[in-house]
Structure 1
Amino acid sequence: MKTLVIGATTNKERYAYKAIHSLVDKSHQVVAIGVKPGMALDVIIETEKLPFKGIDTVTLYINPKVQQEYYEYIVSLHPRRVIFNPGTENPEFYSILEKNNIQYEVACTLVLLATNQY
């Protein structure tokens, strides 16, 4: 199962970084997109919307306004689901996902991983 983290960062204090760390610890394949290039553990943080293949889950760490530029991109990846972490809730995007038969969850990736519900 491959997860795309959008809003990735090299800052170890940020939740996006902690999510990457937790996903890697639990042996999930991770790809990442962020504002600045870099590395989070062994995960390369890309700055472009690359056409990743086989994405199961997209987990968001960007605010709803920034999400708008990712709507078409995320839908084009055909993920099984999108996770809206705290602060990323976006009813407009929920509707777009529903129309494209993509599940979404308003949840915390870190909590889902910690409680084996991921």
Structure 2
Amino acid sequence: MKKTLILGASTNPSRYSNLAAHRLVEHGHPIVNVGMKLGEVAGVPIEMPETIHHDLDTITLYLGPDNQIPYYDYILKSKPDRIIFNPGTENPELEELATAQGIQCAEACTLVLLATGQY
């Protein structure tokens, strides 16, 4: 199973990050929810971006490129195996920084990857 940090987690059930949290858990992947508002999604609390998690397989992004900038250090210090840039989150600058550190980057949709068995 691939431990996944959801950056941009939301308690709003109409947000894709919320749906992704539920689907990841349904597929047996442990998750870490990180967002700006405390709450709980898929039975996992939303935490502030303070604790660096070093045991991540994936960070899946649900923040637009401009909103990612304050999290560059947080993302890169976590050293995930990969970063998924979901639709609307594509960011060549962050992708270049991550690739330079050996982090695999994918412009893909977490929900589609899960639904097609490619996650």
**What TM-score, normalized by structure 1, do the two folds share?**
0.97
Q: Choose between structure 1 and 2: higher strand proportion.
A: 1
Cα distance in 2, alignment partners of residues 86 and 61 from structure 1: 9
State the 1:48 CA deviation: 2.8
Give the equivalent residue in structure 2 for 1:52.
53
State the 1:62 CA deviation: 0.3
1:31–1:45 CA contact under 8 A, matched in 2:
yes
Identical counterparts, % of pairs: 48
The superposition leaves residues 60-80 of structure 1 with CA deviations (integer Å, 9 ceiling, x where unpaired) of 000101111111111111100
**Is residue 24 of structure 2 the alignment partner of residue 28 of structure 1?**
no
**What TM-score, normalized by structure 2, do the two folds share?**
0.96
Structure 1 residue ranges, 4+ long, deviating more than 4 angstroms after superposition: none
2:49–2:74 CA contact under 8 A, matched in 1:
no
For these two proteins, the number of residue pairs brought into alignment is 118
Q: Give runs of aligned pairs for residues 1-118 of structure 1, distance below 5 A.
A: 1-118=2-119
Other structure's SS at 2:32 match: strand
Cα distance in 2, alignment partners of residues 55 and 34 from structure 1: 17
The superposition leaves residues 13-71 of structure 1 with CA deviations (integer Å, 9 ceiling, x where unpaired) of 11000000000000000001111000012111012331223111000000101111111
1:33–1:49 CA contact under 8 A, matched in 2:
no
Structure 1: 5+ residue runs without aligned partners? Answer: none
- Which moves more between the two structures, 43-52 or 105-114? 43-52
Structure 2: 5+ residue runs without aligned partners? Answer: none
